[in-house]
Structure 1
Amino acid sequence: MKKSLLALAALGTFAGAAQAQSSVTLYGIIDAGFVYNNNSAGQKLYSLNSGNLQGSRWGLRGTEDLGGGLKAIFVLENGFNVMNGRLGQGGDEFGRQAYVGLSTAQFGTATLGRQYDSVVDYTGALEVGSQWATYFGAHPGDLDNMNNSNRVNNAIKYTSNDYAGFKFGGLYSLGGVAGQFNRNQIWSVGAGYNRGPLQLGAGYLNVKNPNSSFFGNNATSSTTGSNMGGSLVYSGYASAHEQQVISAGAAYTIAAATIGATYSNTQFKDVGTDGGAALNPVGYTGGTAKFHNAEINFKYQLTPALLLGLAYDYTKGYGLNDAKYHQGMAGVDYFLSKRTDFYVAGVYQHASGTDSTNQTARANINGLTASSTSNQVAAIVGIRHKF
């Protein structure tokens, strides 16, 4: 009897030790707001919207200490629409992130699954759409993916440890098409520095067959039609064979003020060569659509609870289009606590030239139905709670 009790006590001790070396955390964000759009295909639109400053989500994050500085890690993260309870990311259960891997104290982290690319990791946080301006303030159509509109499936990813503020990493996604190794292939690399008042980042992204591999990698995506119809900035380029993004950004803080800037060059290559007529209604027969994008931004922490922001973004198309988009943004973020804040943001966009559909460019703020004219204004008031 005594031996049985001792064995049970020992088993309980080992179980407690194992539990102490492992952890699973439930976390999430609920973000909801009231949106005004002055011109949604010619009409004013008042609506409620989910996931503005940050996408509404819940997730599980876990670690297990394997000894010797080695850990097993995982993340399962679901996106949802708080207004109707539906799944986000095209109906995927864990459409925001889903990965498992190993992390070491010496060599960094390697993971497998659905993950973020290096443009998002190293330059995304430097654009105001990922800060205080809401995703309506992202670069037009989020054409460079700095606002993380698209994730990467089937990805092998490496992230280094932090070396005195410097980190680097890369990602490779297998296309998974028999006999066509390069089809649907995605790869990216990037690096960043964040120490003291200075933050720097740079990223590169290369996507083969972007309509299916990048824009169309959700459960409800079309296998034959266009998945790039969300923005007139690039909706005419669904037949592109390749997408390339080069990005860089910087921010410098002086006391309560931070000034920042980003630059990206986005190219849709060999337009008209991938897929049939359904992906190419304009009738492109080759060539490359290119975009310069430059943003300058400023934020000021007026009090520990009150943040003010201003930004200007300029997008210039060349190659297959000559569209230009001027975008101004202003915002206020007030923190009631570390976990709950109220925000107000406004976005104005003016378009000119000829867009991807070979029509006169119309204003098309990210996430909204295009305007019927060259101008569009959006305003939002919302609340965000983190848990």
Structure 2
Amino acid sequence: MRNARQCRHALALAAGMTIAGAASAQSNVTLYGMVDSAITYVNNQNGASNVYLRQGNLYASKWGLRGREDLGGGTAAIFDVQAGFDLNTGAAASAGQLFNRQAFVGLQDKKFGTATIGRQYTPYYQFVGPLTGSSLLTGATGAHPGDIDGLDTTIRINNAIVYTTPTYAGLQASVMYAFGGLAGSTGKGSTISAALRYDNGPVSVGAGYLRLNNAATTTGFDSASTGSFSTSVLNQGYVSARALEQWAAAANYSFGNVTLGANVSHVTYLPGSRSIFTDSAIFNTVGVLGVYKVTPVFDVGAGYSFTAATSANGVTDSARYHQFSLREYYRLSKRTVLYALQAYQHASGQTLGKNGAGNIIAASPAVGDSQNLTGSSTSGQFVGMLGMAVIF
């Protein structure tokens, strides 16, 4: 009897191990992340030069868990949770918000596409951002001034539903709707985004749209309802808008070791009853870039962008921003890189200060996405960085 019981126990254990093995073969969870920091020099931050350590320049410092379970028939359950942090202090990127960068769950099907819910990046950013200087040159110094068009990763949306189609002949589409969550006023705080992407050999083209509806009851922009939102010296007079609209398109062409690209964006801040400005504020940007792979482990990139605001809200000499960006990138291994960044921006004309209409001030430069609220007290600002990043 004892031998029979032992036999049955052995068979049960073997069956359990087989089931566990089958389950593990069909699902996986991956820990991933990046760490990045650089010695940074800025010639003018609100009137003074500065040398300091700045993290998340080439890549944002973050860690995350990504999972996938095969459900059969070409369908899989997926999830991704991602947390940002300051490498130089160890502090969380957003107080009280563990997975501040993204946190979603969904289903992915080879025939029908992918549907996800949670805190997510917009289709506008996902399809257009990787083709611009925000990604190819890095957002810290290559994003358009103050990330005015949200093509760097500053905008993430809460309470969002996203559907993305499979790729058909190189073409893919994605749409998003995010709930504002306000009882009796479903439109306030909601977000809408849609984008298209086409990739065929050396050609990549993306176009997208984003609308953020403000849920704020004060003169600011309610990031709790609409996700993160970047405020800079460019737009600080317009963050009381009832809504923000962004349009953008970008195209890249690669040949040999060279990639060339061009991009355009159109941003509108729409006033409402609680806004402290009266006329729609518009920022238009055009940009060009190039990346050259010198050797298998070393490449260089360069970009130029021009941003112009419209004349409104008492501003007759509208703000204009010229930005020049350089990037050098050397791979010590597949996961570790050394990099150098340089950028210069020149601003001219006038804009609104943080007090809105009537607070007309000289336009201040803010290089890329690294100096949003540390603009120069003069018409020019230079930023240089020397850093290291590790991907795991």
Q: TM-score, normalised by structure 2?
A: 0.91
Distance 2:133 2:32 in 1: 24
Q: Secondary structure at the match of 1:110?
A: strand
Q: Secondary structure at the match of 2:60?
A: coil
Residue number in structure 2 paired with 1:224:
none
Pairwise CA distance, 1:137: 2.1
Number of residue equivalences? 372
Shifted more, 327-336 versus 355-364: the winner is 355-364
Residue number in structure 2 paired with 1:375:
380
Residue number in structure 1 paired with 2:273:
273
Q: Aligned partner of 1:346: which letter?
A: Q
Distance 1:212 1:254 in 2: 51
**After superposition, where does 1:278-293 map in structure 2 within 5 Å?**
280=276, 284=277, 286-293=278-285
Q: Aligned partner of 2:54: which letter?
A: N
Shifted more, 58-67 versus 209-218: the winner is 209-218
Structure 1 stretches lacking a partner, 5+ long: 222-226
**After superposition, where does 1:135-214 map in structure 2 within 5 Å?**
135-209=140-214
| 2:44 paired with 1:44 | no
Sort the Cα spacing of 1:215 and 1:10 in 2 relative to 1 into closer, same or farther, 3 A.
Answer: farther
Is the contact made by 1:287 and 1:319 (CA closer than 8 Å) also made in structure 2?
A: no
Residue number in structure 1 paired with 2:246:
245
Residue number in structure 1 paired with 2:357:
none
Pairwise CA distance, 1:174: 0.4
> Deviation digits for residues 54-92 of structure 1, max 9, x if unmatched?
110000000111111111100010000000011114552
Is the contact made by 1:128 and 1:311 (CA closer than 8 Å) also made in structure 2?
A: yes
Distance 1:154 1:347 in 2: 36
Q: Secondary structure at the match of 1:99?
A: strand
Distance 2:95 2:263 in 1: 29
Pairwise CA distance, 1:210: 7.1
**After superposition, where does 1:192-341 map in structure 2 within 5 Å?**
192-209=197-214, 216-217=222-223, 230-270=231-271, 273-274=273-274, 280=276, 284=277, 286-320=278-312, 321=315, 322-341=318-337
RMSD: 2.0
Distance 1:260 1:13 in 2: 52
Greater gyration radius: 2
Shifted more, 125-134 versus 351-360: the winner is 125-134
Is the contact made by 2:58 and 2:139 (CA closer than 8 Å) also made in structure 1?
A: yes
Q: Secondary structure at the match of 1:237?
A: coil
Pairwise CA distance, 1:228: 6.8
Q: Aligned partner of 1:311: which letter?
A: G
Is the contact made by 2:79 and 2:104 (CA closer than 8 Å) also made in structure 1?
A: yes
> Deviation digits for residues 98-125 of structure 1, max 9, x if unmatched?
0001111111110000000122111101
Is the contact made by 1:90 and 1:218 (CA closer than 8 Å) also made in structure 2?
A: no
Sort the Cα spacing of 1:299 and 1:210 in 2 relative to 1 into closer, same or farther, 3 A.
Answer: farther
Sort the Cα spacing of 1:92 and 1:294 in 2 relative to 1 into closer, same or farther, 3 A.
Answer: same
Q: Aligned partner of 1:71: which letter?
A: A
Is the contact made by 1:291 and 1:316 (CA closer than 8 Å) also made in structure 2?
A: yes
Is the contact made by 1:299 and 1:310 (CA closer than 8 Å) also made in structure 2?
A: yes
Is the contact made by 2:137 and 2:303 (CA closer than 8 Å) also made in structure 1?
A: no
